[in-house]
Amino acid sequence: MTEDNSTLSPNIPKRPRTIDVVRKNINKRNAAERRFQLYGKVAIALAISFVFILFFDIINKGKGAFVQSYIALDIYLDEQQIDPDGTRDPAVIADANYFGIIRSNLREMFPEVSSRQERRNLYSLVSSGASYQLADLVREHPEYIGNTFRLWVPADDDIDMLIKGYIDRNIPEDDRRIKDNQIAWIDKLNEEGRVKTQFNTTFFTAGDSRDAELAGILGALSGSFFTLIVTLLLSFPIGVAAAIYLEEFAPQNRLTDIIEVNINNLAAVPSIVFGLLGLAVFINFFALPRSAPLVGGLVLTLMTLPTIIISSRAALKSVPPAIREAAIGLGASKMQMVFNHVLPLALPGMLTGTIIGMAQALGETAPLLMIGMVAFIVDVPSSFTDPSTVLPVQIFLWADSPERAFVEKTSGAIMVLLAFLITMNAVAVFIRKKLERRW
Amino acid sequence: MENNQQAAPASPSIPSSQIPRDHRETVGDYTVESPRMSARDVNVHYGDKHAIKGVNLDLGRNEVLAMIGPSGCGKSTFLRCLNRMNDTVKDCKVTGDITLDNKNIYDKKLDVVELRAQVGMVFQKPNPFPKSIYENVAWGARIHGLANTNAELDEIVETSLQKAGLWNEVKDRLDAQGTGLSGGQQQRLCIARTIAINPEVILMDEPCSALDPIATAIVEDLIDELREQFTIAIVTHSMHQAARVSQRTAYFHLGDLIEIGATNDIFTRPRHELTEDYISGRFG
């Protein structure tokens, strides 16, 4: 063959047959490809296993946050103590010493307890919230006054940990937060059927608390919800409008070049800087309320905008030019072209960018610290201007708390955050699919 | 391209033309009586590139004008000047006068939307909107407000599809996606879409280059029928097509309009050597 080649033209240098060369290094080529595929598979396996480890760890630690131990007290409400005049006036009822009632009840259950130290240990079996629970109950049901009834009150967080089995009974008494006599009392209550563990509604209905057994996620959840509503309502229309203008209408000149570069730069600015900006502009200059979801949403809007603008512009760019030419050629104005043909095709891509931006905003902590959303807030916010915190900040606050019970609350809050994120993304993906199908 | 031109040896079988290759003035009469569109001294620059060099050309009523020439000769560029599609191209500068019914289309006061409603365009690659067949045809009429009622719009869609010879194939599936049709059907859909806005001039930029011979034949027949109602300018790479559908043919070469005349004359008695080289297949 090689000789044939040389006879064809003297100018063409002698070359070996292509197939011989190919055969010689085909194994090497295939091996390189197999190796590359292996790297890819290993990378994916690693990524998946890390995700599984993370989920397993979080669920394992956090599942306890969704249940709570309760202790049954047989309460006798003495009319003389609560409402001596029999007026059933809510103000009078609310003033009664429920704290004392709970305590004396505990003393009656364990009459052998005498020393001050022992009594204090006894009182701390139940949550400090028990007396408020009792007060609320009596206010709603004044007919209980003068009667005896069984009341399930939440156990104190340390006792809760003991009941759930997180505290090792074998280590020396001085090294654990639960004393021997407390263990004995709980065991006795358990034998009497006065201890139960059930679904922790408080976790989903209460705001933050210093007491782990009274702390709930609802405050942070509402805070995140309000904050993200503000972020979405501002960043999506502004981002999409900016992208459409820059991509379709703006003249190509130095000014738009500078704007484009700066939008890309903004996407790389550390988020805490946006927090400082929010503090200086929204709170100090415009005097908006501190710790409010409104300000949080504004700050997160600033942070999310570059992401949405960049991805929206990419989506607009990817619309085939033939579609634009077709519309223009029919005599459509630029706006008719953009809104009837280009935008519908670009919208799914824009939504993808928005999902990414919103997911970032949901997980953002640093800028919100700067505008005061890190405060300890017990009340559940009910509007955009109520002081509140958000889920990631709540996780940070709980992770910082020394009590053992907050470990599971932290993981529980992470699970709620992930559920929120997955729900949000699922809704966005659903909307995107719906838009795609129409085309 | 220049190399080709230089390298082409004079073939002894074809008689030599009178006008030598380096002659750049347009050969033939570029004017017609009462033209629909006329271009005078049109120059187009893409940045540094001089794409169209002082072209004069008239477009008569109810005629098909074919523009032929080797790739890069500027025929598509010239066509796109006629409805200002080049406006969207960055760095493109058009000078000279182009008039439609004696009104300058590059007049600053003229709204380009008005112009494009009168001068429609069919592109090289079929580009139906990713919408239903009905919507593809109806959209242009709707944005211009040509139909007051849905019944009128239905009427426009039906007649346009009939004129484009597509009605019988799609009348039962007007809600189907326009992009789901075959290539030839898509191109006829694009023609129907252009007809629907009832323009006066239709520009076609190599409308059959992406089609198979059967679809091409259908579109060519269609062009011949459309001539009764519209003025058509068609850019084509196929000389057979130019010979089949057009009444006049213009030959472009490197931005110059070399020769123009009745199609019959151009293909049987070319007067310029470049034209002859091209139609006898020596380059291009």
pLDDT digits (tens, 9 = 90+) for B248-279: 999 998 889 999 999 988 888 888 888 888 88
Looking at the fold, whether A75 and A164 belong to one and the same domain comes out as yes
Q: What is the pLDDT of residue A77?
A: 84
Helices and strands (DSSP H and E) totals, chain B: 11, 10
In terms of domains, do A57 and A72 share one?
no
CA distance B282 to chain A (A): 27
Q: Give residue A8's pLDDT.
A: 56
pLDDT at A281: 94
Would you say how long chain B is, in residues?
284
Mean pLDDT of all residues in B17-41: 84
Q: How far apart are CA A71 and CA A125, in angstroms?
A: 9
pLDDT in tens, A388-398: 999 999 999 99
Among the partner-chain residues A252, A329, A439, the one whose CB lies closest to the CB of B121 is: A329
CATH number of the structural domain B30-126+200-279: 3.40.50.300
Q: How buried is residue A396: exposed, middle or buried, by Cβ count under 10 Å (0-12/13-18/19+)?
A: middle
The alpha carbon of A44 is separated from its chain's Cα centroid by a whole number of angstroms, namely 26
The predicted complex's ipTM stands at: 0.83
CB atoms under 10 Å from CB of B123, counted, come to: 21
Would you list the domain boundaries of chain B? 30-126+200-279
For residue A212, tell me if it sits in a domain.
no
Q: What is the pLDDT of residue A276?
A: 94
Interface of B with A (CB under 8 A): 83, 85, 88, 90, 113-117, 120-121, 123, 125, 127-131, 139-140, 143-144, 190, 193-194, 197
Cβ separation A329–B120 shorter than 8 A: yes
Residues A79 and A131 in one domain: yes
pLDDT at position A57, please?
94
Contact B190 A326 (CB under 8 A): yes
CA of A428 to nearest chain B CA: how many angstroms apart? 23
A90/A57 same-domain check: no
DSSP B25: S
Residue A238 pLDDT greater than 90, yes or no: yes
| Interface probe, candidates B83, B84, B139, chain A, greatest A C-beta count within 10 A | B139
Instruction: Based on the fold, state whether residues A55 and A95 are members of the same structural domain.
Output: no
Distance from CA of A337 to the nearest CA of B (A): 10
Mean pLDDT of chain B: 86
Average pLDDT, chain A: 89
d(CA A28, CA B128): 47
Looking at CA atoms only, how far is residue B258 from chain A in angstroms? 28
**Quick one: A81 exposed, middle or buried, by C-beta within 10 A (0-12, 13-18, 19+)?**
middle
Q: Any idea what the Cα angle at residue B64 is, between residues B166 and B75, rounded to 5°?
A: 105
Q: What share of chain A in percent tops pLDDT 90?
A: 52
Give the Cα separation of A384 and A139 in Å (integer).
31
What mean pLDDT do residues A263-280 have? 92
On chain A, the residues whose CB falls within 8 A of the CB of B83 are: 329
pLDDT in tens, A163-180: 988 888 888 888 888 888
Across the A/B interface, how many CB contacts are shorter than 8 Å? 61
β partners of residue B249? B66, B261
- Cβ distance A331 to B144 less than 8 Å, yes or no, reads yes
Among A330, A340, A437, pick the best mutation site for testing chain B contact (most B Cβ within 10 A). A330
Q: What integer pLDDT is reported at residue A7 of this predicted model?
A: 53
Give exposure, A234-268, as e/b (b: 16+ Cβ within 10 Å).
Answer: bbbeebbebbbebbbeeeeeeeeeeebeebeebbe
Nearest Cα to A247, choosing from A170, A333, A323, A310? A310
Closest in B129, B140, B193 to A323, CB measured: B129
Task: Report the pLDDT value the prediction gives residue A438, as an integer from 0 to 100.
Answer: 52
Using a CB-CB cut-off of 8 Å, the residues of chain A touching B90 are 252
- Give chain A positions within 8 Å (CB) of B85: 325, 328-329
Q: Do B206 and B76 touch, CB atoms closer than 8 A? A: yes
Which of B106, B69, B100 has its CA nearest to residue B85? B106
- Sign of the C-alpha dihedral computed for residues B115, B117, B119 and B121 taken in this order: positive
- For residue A190, pLDDT over 50 is answered with yes
Q: How far is the alpha carbon of A254 from chain B, nearest alpha carbon, in Å?
A: 15
What backbone phi and psi angles, to 5 degrees, belong to B104? -70, 120
pLDDT in tens, B125-182: 899 999 999 999 999 999 999 888 999 999 999 999 988 888 999 989 999 998 889 8
* CB contact burial B53-73 (16+ within 10 A = b; e otherwise): bbbbbbbbeebbbbbbbbeeb
Q: What is the pLDDT of residue A113?
A: 85
Residues B215 and B245: their CA atoms lie apart, in Å, by 15
Which of B125, B139, B193 lies nearest to residue A322, judging by beta carbons? B125
pLDDT band at B11 (very low <50, low <70, confident <90, very high): very low
Give first-to-last CA distance, chain B, whole Å: 8
Chain B residues closer than 8 Å to A324 by CB: 88
Q: In whole angstroms, what is the distance from residue A99 CA to residue A119 CA?
A: 14
A270: alpha, beta or left, given left = phi > 0 and alpha = psi -120 to 50?
beta
The answer to the question of residue A289 being in a domain is yes
Q: Side chain identity at B158, as an amino acid letter?
A: E
**A211 is a domain residue:** no
Residue of B nearest to A329 (CA): B121
Mean pLDDT value across residues A397-426 = 92
Q: Which two tokens stand for residue A325?
A: 């030419």
Model confidence pLDDT, tens digit, residues A301-342: 999 999 999 999 999 999 988 899 999 999 899 999 999 999
Q: Tell me if A349 sits within 8 A of B215, measured CB to CB.
A: no
A213 in a domain, yes or no? no
Could you give the C-alpha distances from A25 to A21, A28, A34, A246, in angstroms and in order? 7, 5, 14, 51
In chain B, the residue whose alpha carbon lies closest to the alpha carbon of A344 is B130
d(CA B163, CA B230): 12
The shortest C-alpha distance from A322 to chain B (Å) reads 6
pLDDT of residue A227: 96
Residue type, B242: A
Q: Which residues of B touch A340 (CB under 8 A)?
A: 139, 143
Q: List, in order, residues 6 or more apart from B215 with CB less than 8 Å away.
A: B182, B183, B184, B185, B187, B208
Which domain CATH number covers A359? 1.10.3720.10
Contact criterion met (CB < 8 Å) for A326 and B143: no
Q: Say which residues have a Cβ less than 8 Å from residue A50's Cβ, sequence separation at least 6.
A: none
* Nearest residue in A to B130, CA atom: A439
Contact across the interface for B128 and A329, Cβ inside 8 Å: no
Confidence of residue A97 (pLDDT cuts 50, 70, 90): confident
Cβ contacts (< 8 Å) between A325 and chain B: which residues?
Answer: 85, 88, 121, 123, 127
Is A401 within 8 Å of A208 (Cβ atoms)? no
SS (H, E, C) chain A: CHHHHHHHCCCCCCCCCHHHHHHHHHHHHHHHHHHHHHHHHHHHHHHHHHHHHHHHHHHHHHHHHHEEEEEEEEEECCHHHHCCCCCCCHHHHHHCCHHHHHHHHHHHHCCCCCCHHHHHHHHCCECCCHHHHHHHHHHHCHHHCCCEEEEEEEECHHHHHHHHCCCCCCCCHHHCCCCHHHHHHHHHHHHCCCEEEEECCHHHHCCCCCCHHHCCCHHHHHHHHHHHHHHHHHHHHHHHHHHHHHHHHCCCCHHHHHHHHHHHHHHCCCHHHHHHHHHHHHHHHCCCCCCCHHHHHHHHHHHHHHHHHHHHHHHHHCCCHHHHHHHHHCCCCHHHHHHHHHHHHHHHHHHHHHHHHHHHHHHCCHHHHHCCCCCCCCCCCCCCCCCCCCHHHHHHHHHCCCCCHHHHHHHHHHHHHHHHHHHHHHHHHHHHHHHHHHC
pLDDT of residue B270: 87
Residue A261 lies in a domain: yes
Cross-chain Cβ contact B129/A439 below 8 Å: no
Residues of chain A found within 8 Å of residue B139, distances taken between Cβ atoms: 330, 340
% of chain B surpassing 90 pLDDT? 39
Residue B255 burial (10 A CB sphere; 0-12, 13-18, 19+): buried
CA distance B153 to B168: 18
Question: Looking at the predicted structure, is the pLDDT value of residue B70 above 60?
Answer: yes
The verdict on a CB contact (< 8 Å) between A331 and B90 is: no
Q: Are strands B119-122 and A195-199 parallel, antiparallel or unpaired?
A: unpaired
- Which residue of A320, A323, A332 is in closest CB contact with B143? A332
A94 and A57 inside one domain: no
pLDDT at residue A398 in the model: 94
Is A330 close to B131, i.e. CB distance below 8 A? no
Contact A326 B113 (CB under 8 A): no
Q: How far is CA A244 from CA A230, A231, A349, in A?
A: 22, 19, 13
Q: CB atoms < 10 A from the CB of B146, how many?
A: 16
Residues of B within 8 A of A251 (CB-CB) are none
Question: Do the Cβ atoms of A330 and B130 come within 8 Å?
Answer: no
Q: pLDDT value at position A251?
A: 87
Taking the CB of residue B242, how many other CB atoms lie within 10 A of it? Answer: 25
Rg over CA atoms, chain A? 33
Residue A285: the pLDDT is 94
Q: Are residues A334 and A395 both part of a single domain?
A: yes
Distances in Å between the alpha carbon of A17 and those of A3, A5, A27? 10, 10, 18
Question: Are A150 and A104 contained in the same domain?
Answer: yes
Q: Are B258 and B275 in contact (CB under 8 A)?
A: yes
Q: pLDDT higher for A153 or A85?
A: A153
Per-residue pLDDT averaged across A34-47, rounded? 97
User: Which tokens go with A90?
Assistant: 């809510």
Option in B116, B125, B130 nearest A330 (CB) = B116
Q: What is the C-alpha to C-alpha distance for residues B13 and A62, in angstroms, rounded to an integer?
A: 93
Residues of A in contact with B115 (CB under 8 A): 331
Domain range for A54: 2-62
Q: How close A242 gets to chain B, by Cα (Å)?
A: 20
Contact state of A325 with B88 under an 8 Å Cβ cutoff: yes
Interface contact B123-A325, CB threshold 8 A: yes
Q: What is d(CA A48, CA B244) in angstroms, rounded to the nearest whole number? A: 65
- For chain A, what is the domain count? 3
Name the band, by pLDDT with cuts 50, 70 and 90, for residue B20. confident
What pLDDT does residue A411 have? Answer: 94
Read off the pLDDT of residues A101-149 as tens digits, 9 standing for 90 and up: 888 888 888 888 888 888 888 888 999 888 888 888 888 888 888 888 8
Residue pair B76/B205 in contact by the 8 Å Cβ criterion: yes
